[in-house]
Amino acid sequence: MTLRIGLIGAGGMGRAHVERIETELAGGRVVAVADVNLDAARAVAEPLGAVAYATGAELIADPDVDAVLIATFGKVHAPDVLAAIEAGKYVLCEKPLVTTTEDALRVLDAEQRAGKKLVTVGYMRRFDAGYQQLRAALVAGEHGYATLVHCRHRNPSVPENYTTRNMIDDTASHEIDICRYLLGEEITRVRVEAPRATSHRFAHLQDPLVLVAYTESGVRIDDEVNVNLQWGYSIECELVMETGTIRLGDQEQVHVRDLAGNRNPICRSHIDRFHDAFNAEVQQWIRAVERDDHTGSSAWDGYAAVAVVEAALASLDAGGVEVAVQLIPKPAFYA
């Protein structure tokens, strides 16, 4: 059986998902594409023999659509996510789930009323082989428990319309989700610091930032967000355990010795770095939907990430003071 997927959002991320579903993954195909720009929807839909819609609502209502993939901007996710839940259809929604805790709470309510976890948030790192080995090491407990996590999110550069707030709500959002996942704990307080800025940035940007967060058990997370380093897309994550440290490897495929040294090339973009993780995410989602099952980050995860982002932005606005993260009690439904 082939899962009939409806895509909402015909931009770059949406087209990348179509590409992987059609050429690299098994078990699914894209049967409908919606975009506020109907021409864009048609441009993606036509080569696939898929239907084009101007709204997510129409696409969700289409009985030929088994499941929904949302790849629009975060600010407009909420109505489509809620509509998909109402329709009882599984939905893979790109991160962030929504951009306010109010909207996130609406999603949690709707999903609980629907009676099953229909929403997966597209935090693809959970499907990366390296992060999965980190998670396995934490679960195995061979090195005791974690006391600290050091994260680095380094980008070659960002465009002019990327804002200081995006360093938190877009970029650090990944580390917020993955640290919660790795540690199996909520983040309770957070602080954002602004060190000396690099000269390789647009003047409006405060770059780098350091986000410092603490979890329920006191694990301290720091995340260096450095988005104009010029040289590569370099994601680091080191778990400091009681009797050892475990970090993501250097993603080395070949190793060179030449005038530049003893070296391995560094990739330039998240597309290269997380190609396999994106594929695994969508593949496992297709498989899970077939089994009427949930996979990946849940709506609760999406809510918690938004809540931490809100606290972090409040800290940034207040000059770096520590801000408590406000979470509702976790419903048993999400246990």
State the binding string over 20-59 for a second copy (x if CB under 8 A, else -): --xxxxxx--------------------------------
Least distance (Å) from a second copy to the CB of residue 142? 9
Q: Does 269 bind a second copy (CB under 8 A)?
A: no
Which of 1, 260, 332, 335 touches a second copy by CB under 8 A? 260
**Pair of tokens at residue 313:** 């932005």
Identify the burial level of 82 via C-beta atoms within 10 angstroms of its C-beta, where 0-12 means exposed, 13-18 middle and 19 or more buried. Answer: buried
The DSSP code sequence of 152-190 is EEE-S---TT--HHHIIIIIIHHHHHHHHHHHTS-EEEE
State the binding string over 126-145 for a second copy (x if CB under 8 A, else -): ---xx--xx--x-----xxx
Q: Does 161 bind a second copy (CB under 8 A)?
A: no
Round the CA-based radius of gyration of the chain to a whole number and report it.
Answer: 20
Q: Report the alpha-carbon distance of residue 175 to residue 211 in Å, rounded.
A: 10
Q: Does 186 bind a second copy (CB under 8 A)?
A: no
Which of 55, 100, 188, 198 touches a second copy by CB under 8 A? 198
Identify the burial level of 204 via C-beta atoms within 10 angstroms of its C-beta, where 0-12 means exposed, 13-18 middle and 19 or more buried. Answer: exposed
- Which residues fall within 8 angstroms of residue 61, CB to CB, at 6 or more apart? 87
Q: Does 327 bind a second copy (CB under 8 A)?
A: no
**Pair of tokens at residue 195:** 């060190």
Beta carbon nearer to a second copy, 161 or 253: 253
Least distance (Å) from a second copy to the CB of residue 91? 22
Which of 12, 37, 139, 256 touches a second copy by CB under 8 A? 256
Q: Does 246 bind a second copy (CB under 8 A)?
A: yes
Measure the CA angle with vertex 57, ends 51 and 58; round to 5°.
35
Q: Report the alpha-carbon distance of residue 328 to residue 102 in Å, rounded.
A: 11
Identify the burial level of 95 via C-beta atoms within 10 angstroms of its C-beta, where 0-12 means exposed, 13-18 middle and 19 or more buried. Answer: buried
Q: Report the alpha-carbon distance of residue 310 to residue 300 in Å, rounded.
A: 15
Beta carbon nearer to a second copy, 245 or 326: 245
Least distance (Å) from a second copy to the CB of residue 54? 29
Which of 113, 161, 257, 335 touches a second copy by CB under 8 A? 257
Least distance (Å) from a second copy to the CB of residue 289? 15
Which of 229, 288, 313, 314 touches a second copy by CB under 8 A? 229
Q: Measuring CA to CA, how many Å separate 243 from each of 144, 178, 217, 240, 250?
A: 6, 22, 18, 8, 22
Beta carbon nearer to a second copy, 108 or 277: 277
Least distance (Å) from a second copy to the CB of residue 243? 5
> What is the binding site for a second copy (CB under 8 A)?
22-27, 129-130, 133-134, 137, 143-148, 150, 193, 195-200, 208, 210, 212, 214, 217-220, 222, 224, 226, 229-232, 234, 240, 242-266, 276, 283, 287
